[in-house]
């Protein structure tokens, strides 16, 4: 199925909730009630088993063809352009630069989604889009305008990200986007701003503890992500189901249509926070380096964004953002250290 073109979203307020735990709790309740899958703990109740019946969500593809596993090593994908020796002051972008054009427009257009709890999601209380990726977007806007709120968000599926950058529909994509050699043929990336580890989410009382138990099982992943190719290479007998968003994968689990979900640990942690019957299991299946996606040829924007990331690492701001949104995870990898080229 061909993904629809990204459509412009209205500029959205993105104020920061002082009680993210309350927002997450309300979001979890809304998500579970909306699917009609409210559960009450009962140790004797077995987990749903994936059925052969029709999948009810739109945009679902079953028995996804085998895809190549992601690769970042072959081309040294995470090496990126060195930041400028001195960053321009906010509201004083170099004339003729990509950043000057964004400043003249008056807003930074950022592609993301609102279905990745903890990274980018709509706060059910304030209506604002919030999360780790959203805070990174605010930092870039603050460096251009001196105002972190000068951001317009456009909601994209994972499969729409590269097209949106090629068409210049957005200035940047900040959407848990892994840096790979294949993607570098079409777009540019900043230095990594987060390192994730692909894992598996399964029902608490299932026997799934790793990829070995996924043979002949239905496993969900969002379309256009690197998770599909990697799990297929590790467990060739997996039956992949793809959806438009990660939230749809959780719904399919709650409906008993799939046995597990595979994605990066941080995304799975956000899904697991919405349903007490699921948990993240198994070892790491591979590292994923998230980068800011930037249109090909905009080297000045790559260097500028790398400068912003350099500043928030050095100031401790990166750690503050990480602690705010991803404290549910263990200590993790910390701020990724960049590798630059001139």
> Could you read off the pLDDT of 34-62 as tens digits, one per residue?
333 333 333 445 555 555 455 567 678 88
d(CA 256, CA 72): 35
Q: Which residues contact 342 (CB under 8 A, 6 or more apart)?
A: 81, 82
Assign 300 to helix, strand or coil. Answer: helix
**110/152 Cα distance (integer angstroms):** 6
Q: 3-state class of 51 per DSSP?
A: coil
Task: Say how far apart CA 130 and CA 118 lie, in whole Å.
Answer: 8
Confidence (pLDDT) at 69: 79
Per the model's pLDDT, the better-predicted residue between 116 and 174 turns out to be 174
Given a contact cutoff of 8 angstroms between Cβ atoms, the answer to whether 146 and 84 are in contact is no
Tracing tokens 């739109």 back to the chain, one arrives at: 58
Say which residue, 147 or 22, is predicted with more confidence: 147
pLDDT given for residue 47 in this prediction: 58
Mean pLDDT value across residues 285-310: 96
Residue 318: is its pLDDT beyond 50?
Answer: yes
242-281 confidence digits (pLDDT tens): 998 888 999 999 999 999 999 999 889 889 988 999 999 9
Q: Decide if 164 contacts 111 (C-beta within 8 A).
A: yes
Better-scored residue on pLDDT, 335 or 162: 162
15: nearest Cα among 103, 138, 110, 117: 138
Q: Which two three-digit tokens encode residue 298?
A: 């905009």
């Amino acid at each position: 199925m061909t993904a629809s073109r990204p459509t412009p979203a209205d500029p959205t307020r993105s104020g920061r909730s002082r009680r993210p735990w309350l927002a997450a709790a309300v979001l979890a309740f809304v998500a579970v009630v909306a699917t009609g899958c409210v559960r009450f703990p009962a140790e004797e109740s077995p987990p749903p088993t994936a059925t052969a019946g029709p999948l009810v969500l739109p945009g679902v593809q079953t028995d996804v063809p085998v895809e190549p596993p992601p690769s970042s090593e072959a081309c040294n994908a995470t090496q990126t352009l060195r930041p400028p020796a001195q960053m321009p002051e906010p509201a004083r972008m170099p004339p003729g630069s990509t950043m000057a054009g964004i400043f003249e427009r008056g807003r930074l257009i950022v592609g993301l989604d609102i279905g990745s709890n903890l990274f980018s999601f709509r706060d059910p209380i304030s209506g604002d889009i919030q999360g780790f990726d959203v805070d990174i977007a605010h930092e870039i806007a603050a460096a251009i305008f001196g105002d972190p709120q000068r951001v317009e968000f456009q909601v994209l599926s994972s499969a729409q990200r590269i097209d949106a950058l090629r068409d210049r529909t957005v200035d940047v994509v900040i959407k848990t986007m892994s840096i790979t050699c294949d993607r570098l043929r079409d777009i540019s990336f900043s230095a990594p701003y987060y390192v994730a580890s692909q894992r598996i989410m399964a029902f608490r009382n299932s026997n799934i503890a790793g990829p070995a138990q996924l043979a002949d099982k239905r496993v969900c992943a969002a379309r256009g992500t690197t998770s599909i190719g990697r799990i297929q290479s590790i467990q060739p007998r997996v039956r992949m189901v793809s959806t438009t968003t990660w939230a749809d994968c959780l719904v399919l689990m709650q409906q008993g249509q799939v046995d597990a979900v595979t994605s990066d640990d941080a995304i799975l942690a956000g899904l697991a926070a919405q349903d007490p019957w699921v948990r993240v299991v198994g070892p790491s299946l591979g590292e994923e380096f998230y980068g800011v996606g930037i249109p090909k040829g905009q080297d000045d924007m790559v260097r500028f964004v790398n400068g912003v990331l350099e500043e928030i690492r050095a100031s401790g701001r990166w750690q503050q953002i990480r602690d705010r949104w991803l404290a549910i995870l263990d200590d993790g990898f910390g701020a990724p250290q960049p590798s630059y080229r001139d």
